[in-house]
A and B are shown apart, each in its own frame.
Chain A
């Protein structure tokens, strides 16, 4: 069981899946860091992106990989729209703002899922043919499925682009400043509502990118977001609330811990490994690995 190739395969699979988990968690972390709102509709954003990819593939007969920037752009609009139409009102609550936000995004999740089941039916969809679907590279007996490899690369690129955006652009500085003090930025002429809307758009675009690539190798279904969202919440908490790059490290940790615990423990108990690491971090470092 424990020969070198098996161990290498476990680590490689964990790493690839972990980078995809990180990409899914990035948007959640960004939105939380910006405005302290946990988006409980994050899994549904992922699902929406997967259906958008599926629809575009059917409509335009292009490859999901080519379509991924378009899907990200669509999700940007969806995210900004959700902020402008729903979240902005939830944030105006006089009392119990946190609860109101939780219920608003939770309600949004139920609405999106219900709509998806109504419009797309609960049938399982999948993209039958794509450039990468079903392709696998093998190096010394270690298999790297092409779609997961693409997802991992896209994740690294997205985090790189996010880093440049945050550190090198005026928008990134406005984002950082709004995160530091949402009240004071108004004094220097930054429209915080605009920044928040952009933040939601960006967060949704990141999960949109993940959804486009995930749809190459995963089934598409109104409930597909659930298991991924749960892992995304753990990833964000583990990496440190609001630390986008903490989410990158945490995603990889979650992926590898999952792969190892599925092998060492019983596969039915692999989630225990993830939550055990999470609990350990919460006990020893409550703000998460990279939290401020």
Chain B
């Protein structure tokens, strides 16, 4: 046999070393590695979301695997103490915002990379398919940043979500409208503007229901095609409807185009209350400049929570050193998802999927051990955490400030 290593073999060795499959003896002796899978869009229109998500998860792994003086689970120890100090690692797959690719990549991560749990996916439409794959293989799936309320109502035993879904978010928006009514500034008409996948559909289903209950008139109900080259006709309809509050459910590309087209057509609604997504992204405000002033969005997180929770500022510094950006609603939820998952894996003692699932179901993490404004993390029978209060943020200058509810607000809302 030829003892020379061929180029192909050398490539395979390097590949194996890079993926961690070829762990040197010394490292192996220190303990095992637990690998969880991350499903994100790493190419295509939403690729930046995936890139930022990786930074958020790397920050969480740093906190879990190394010693940090933070009031967060597993921060003060190295690795997972109940698993002999095993290190937590993540391997990422690119679902390209495509539900079918998401399903296939989930299967690949489970069967080939042998991940013990999955986290993802940004788009609810992808979580919808990928979590069914996870269920089939009895591998726990934690929806980090998906907000469609139908996801946890499918009877899945391995699906969990620590963050609020759109019903919580929308409820908060309408609670805010009630609050404004008490202050003598009632909201009488709203316009719904939403993209044509599960996110937009689910978001507006709740908005329609609550508007009806509160007697608020929906003067425009516009479903648009996402990633359209132009939104001119759509904005003309919004303008003609002239609602008091515009409520968009849009991802980043459409949010940029919407705001730019509104400026071009001379349309400025008295208020915008957005369903997060594109409106939580700094890139949107870089693109539209001053037109973003006063825009409101729901969120699970705000940097000014740091005034009440010191760990927020410290985690933000760790994240910023990696990504060059501040934590936002999405990256904070991703970081928190990794912490919740790590806590469950540690309590599972074995690191096996079924044991992790049972540990997740038994999770009871107090809110002050998270970076979120939540009471606690505890999953109900459907895998949903119900103790996670969303907040409303308003754009002031170059940042968002929390304006609702009162217990987390750092500024008064500007509302005409």
A249 to chain B minimum Cβ distance, whole angstroms, is: 19
Task: Give CA–CA (A6, B225) in the complex, Å.
Answer: 21
- B270 is an interface residue with CB less than 8 A from chain A: no
In the complex, the answer to whether A262 meets B233 with C-beta atoms within 8 Å is yes
B221 to chain A minimum Cβ distance, whole angstroms, is: 10
Which of A55-63, A188-196, A218-226 contacts its partner? A218-226
Task: Give CA–CA (A148, B256) in the complex, Å.
Answer: 16
In the complex, the answer to whether B236 meets A124 with C-beta atoms within 8 Å is no
In the complex, the answer to whether B47 meets A124 with C-beta atoms within 8 Å is no
- A183 is an interface residue with CB less than 8 A from chain B: no
In the complex, the answer to whether A124 meets B283 with C-beta atoms within 8 Å is yes
Measured between beta carbons, the chain B residues less than 8 angstroms from A271 are 225
**Chain B count of residues within 8 A CB distance of the other chain:** 38
A93 to chain B minimum Cβ distance, whole angstroms, is: 28
In the complex, the answer to whether A138 meets B266 with C-beta atoms within 8 Å is yes
- B237 is an interface residue with CB less than 8 A from chain A: yes
Chain B, residue nearest A136 (CB) = B264
B235 to chain A minimum Cβ distance, whole angstroms, is: 9
**Chain A count of residues within 8 A CB distance of the other chain:** 42
As a 0/1 sequence over residues 209 to 228 of chain B, the CB contacts with chain A under 8 angstroms (1 = contact) are 00000000000001111011
- B45 is an interface residue with CB less than 8 A from chain A: yes
Chain B, residue nearest A9 (CB) = B236
As a 0/1 sequence over residues 192 to 228 of chain A, the CB contacts with chain B under 8 angstroms (1 = contact) are 0000000000000000000000000111011100111
Measured between beta carbons, the chain A residues less than 8 angstroms from B291 are 134
Most chain A CB inside 10 Å of its own CB: which residue of B228, B232, B260, B287: B232
In the complex, the answer to whether A134 meets B264 with C-beta atoms within 8 Å is yes
In the complex, the answer to whether A122 meets B225 with C-beta atoms within 8 Å is no
- A238 is an interface residue with CB less than 8 A from chain B: no
Task: Give CA–CA (A138, B287) in the complex, Å.
Answer: 23
Within 8 A of B (CB), among A110-168: 114, 117, 121-124, 126, 128, 134, 136, 138, 143, 145, 147-148
- B366 is an interface residue with CB less than 8 A from chain A: no
- B155 is an interface residue with CB less than 8 A from chain A: no
In the complex, the answer to whether A270 meets B264 with C-beta atoms within 8 Å is no
In the complex, the answer to whether A126 meets B286 with C-beta atoms within 8 Å is yes
Known: A219-B253, A268-B196. A6 touches B229 (CB 8 A): no
- A101 is an interface residue with CB less than 8 A from chain B: no
In the complex, the answer to whether A227 meets B227 with C-beta atoms within 8 Å is yes
The total of interchain contacts (Cβ-Cβ below 8 angstroms) comes to 104
Other-chain residue from B225, B240, B283 in contact with A267 (beta carbon distance below 8 A): B225
Most chain A CB inside 10 Å of its own CB: which residue of B48, B284, B291: B48
In the complex, the answer to whether A270 meets B233 with C-beta atoms within 8 Å is yes
Measured between beta carbons, the chain A residues less than 8 angstroms from B264 are 134, 136, 143, 145, 147-148, 217
Other-chain residue from A117, A121, A122, A217 in contact with B260 (beta carbon distance below 8 A): A217
Known: A124-B256, A128-B286. A6 touches B47 (CB 8 A): no
In the complex, the answer to whether A122 meets B48 with C-beta atoms within 8 Å is yes
B193 to chain A minimum Cβ distance, whole angstroms, is: 9
- B10 is an interface residue with CB less than 8 A from chain A: no
Known: A136-B264, A136-B265. A267 touches B233 (CB 8 A): yes
- A10 is an interface residue with CB less than 8 A from chain B: yes
Task: Give CA–CA (A267, B196) in the complex, Å.
Answer: 10
As a 0/1 sequence over residues 253 to 292 of chain A, the CB contacts with chain B under 8 angstroms (1 = contact) are 0000011001100111111000000000000000000000
A238 to chain B minimum Cβ distance, whole angstroms, is: 16
Contacts from B to A (Cβ < 8 Å): 43-45, 47-48, 50-51, 196, 222-225, 227-230, 232-234, 236-237, 240, 252-253, 256-257, 260, 263-266, 281, 283-284, 286-287, 289, 291
Q: Pick the 10 closest A-B CB pairs, nearest first.
A: A122-B47, A262-B233, A145-B264, A126-B287, A13-B232, A268-B223, A267-B224, A268-B196, A124-B283, A122-B48
Q: Besides A262-B233, A267-B222, A267-B223, 14 other CB < 8 A contacts?
A: A13-B230, A13-B232, A17-B232, A117-B43, A124-B252, A124-B253, A126-B287, A134-B260, A136-B265, A148-B264, A219-B256, A223-B45, A259-B233, A270-B225
